[in-house]
Amino acid sequence: MINIEHVYEAIWHTLISFIYLLFLTRIMGRKQIAQLTFFDYVTGISIGSIAALVAVDQTIGLDALIASLSVWTLCMMLMNYLTKSSVPARKIIDSHPVIVLHDGKILEEQLGRLHYNVDDLLMQLRIRNVFDPSEVELGIMEPNGELSIKKRPQFSTVTNQDLNIIKPEPLASKFTGRQLIVDGAIVNDELAALGVSRQWLVDQLKLQGVTDISAILVACIKPDGTLYLDKKTDNANPLLNQERNQ
Residue 9's alpha-carbon distances to 59, 60, 62, 157, 228, in angstroms, are 10, 11, 11, 60, 50
32-43 mean pLDDT = 62
* 151 occurs within a structural domain: yes
Cβ atoms 172, 213 nearer than 8 A:
no
Number of domains the chain contains:
3
> For the segment 90-146, what is each residue's pLDDT rounded down to a tens digit?
777 667 788 999 988 988 888 888 888 888 888 989 998 888 888 899 999 887 778
Asked if the structure places residue 168 within a domain, the reply is no
* Last residue of one domain, picked from the residues 64, 91, 118: 91
pTM of the prediction?
0.47
Q: Is 200 a member of any domain? A: yes
Q: Which residues lie closer than 8 Å to 174 by C-beta, 6 or more apart? A: none
Do 131 and 86 sit in the same domain of this protein?
no
DSSP state of 116: -
Domain assignment present for residue 44? The answer is: yes
CA distance 99 to 143: 11
pLDDT, tens digit, 9 for 90 and up, residues 45-72:
777 787 777 777 767 777 777 787 788 7
Is 161 a member of any domain? no
Residue 210 lies in a domain: yes
Residue 245 lies in a domain: no
Q: Which of the four pLDDT bands, split at 50, 70 and 90, describes residue 196?
A: confident
Distance CA(76)–CA(91), nearest Å, equals 16
* CATH code for position 183: 3.30.240.20
What is the residue range of 115's domain?
98-155
Mean pLDDT computed over 193-200? 83
131 and 203 together in one domain? no
Whether 145 and 222 share a structural domain: no
Predicted local confidence at residue 238, as pLDDT? 45
Cα–Cα distances (Å) from 64 to 18, 21, 94, in that order, read: 15, 14, 29
pLDDT tens-place string over residues 138-173: 999 887 778 999 988 887 776 666 666 555 444 445
> What values do phi and psi take at 232, rounded to 5?
-65, -25
